Amino acid sequence: MSDVTVIKIAIVGVGKIAQDQHVPSIKGNEAFELAATVSSRDGLPGIENHAQLTDLLEKRPDIPAVALCMPPQMRYEAASLAIEAGRHVLLEKPPGATIAEVQDLVERARAKNVSLFATWHSRFAAGVPAARAWLAERMIRHVRITWKEDVRRWHPGQAWIWEPGGLGVFDPGINALSILTEILPEPVHLVQSTLEVPDGRQAPIAASLRFRGPAGLTVEADFDWRQTGPQTWDIEIGTDTGSLSLSKGGAELTIGGRREMTEADVEYAGIYRRFAELIDAREIDVDLAPLIHVADAFMLGRKITVEPFEE
């Protein structure tokens, strides 16, 4: 850091993802100090808590950065308040409930000369940079994404994920799309979408997507929130000179049947390294490509009603 030694930061929304990932990543990064939280319920032991974001912004002008970890439907208003108050903003994924509101946040951040970071944590998985470099020199023929997990395990009691803007199975599925858009040399576009929506819910529990790209490239993606037992987060890619696979959410890279690397739990550490860089440079890093693919999936989606989902 060129002009600061420690950046005080506040976490807004102290739910499961904040406690599991953001708190340890902030504490493990010497560029940051976790100075406060914002939560209408209990915050974190030993950390100052404010019931409302407006209270934090008014009472702690010495905290220049906030990490917004509340559900996406609530993120735009909070980000707008923080940016208007001159704070740097980190957005947990997905960055917002709509594309338009995130685009507006970019303009607001640019006008206030503050950093805005729309995070895609899976892009910081250990195998992703090497996969991108290897694919850059090859003709990609086909991509197969299988992203299946147990919603009861990862989102217990979180009703917001089933509401409009909550994304349903695309909450994890967008992680795969963030890797896809990071490692492919050329963009692809959606051509087919099937959404399985539980009776009485507003968002899908499973989805099947098909994409096309240049030179005949095809991409198939299957997302499902009903998988019990071992969880599956795999991307398999066939090229003109061999195959590549990313498994365990991008933590494990295999090329031509040979495992190249395996390293877990580095994603959020990477996010906060990047956020420190952005704050130092007062830059904006917002890539909407994964969210655009999800929006297209809803626009083209053929809806199939399936059995009700109950906790």
What structural domains does the chain harbor? 7-118 (3.40.50.720), 122-262+295-306 (3.30.360.10)
- Quick one: what percent of the chain has pLDDT higher than 70? 99
* Residue partners of 220: CB distance under 8 A and separation at least 6: 142, 143, 144, 145, 208, 209, 210, 211
What DSSP designation does 168 have?
T
Beta-bridge partner residues of 303 = 195
Buried b (16+ CB within 10 A) or exposed e, 101-125: bbeebbebbeebebbbbbbbbbbbb
Structure tokens given for 254: 């295999």
Q: pLDDT for 1-44, tens place per residue?
A: 445 579 999 999 999 899 999 999 999 999 999 999 999 888 89
Q: pLDDT for 85-133, tens place per residue?
A: 999 999 999 999 999 999 999 999 999 999 999 999 999 999 999 999 9
The band of 140, judged by pLDDT with boundaries at 50, 70 and 90, is very high
Mean pLDDT of the chain: 95
Q: How many CB atoms lie under 10 A from the CB of residue 206?
A: 21
For helices 170-183 and 289-300, angle between their N-to-C axes, nearest 10 degrees: 120
Q: pLDDT for 216-268, tens place per residue?
A: 999 999 999 999 999 999 999 999 999 999 999 999 999 999 998 888 779 99
Q: What is the arithmetic mean of pLDDT over 173-178?
A: 98
Name the residues annotated as catalytic.
Answer: 93
Residue 126 and residue 261 in contact, taking contact as beta carbons nearer than 8 Å: yes
* Cα 225 versus chain centre, distance: 17
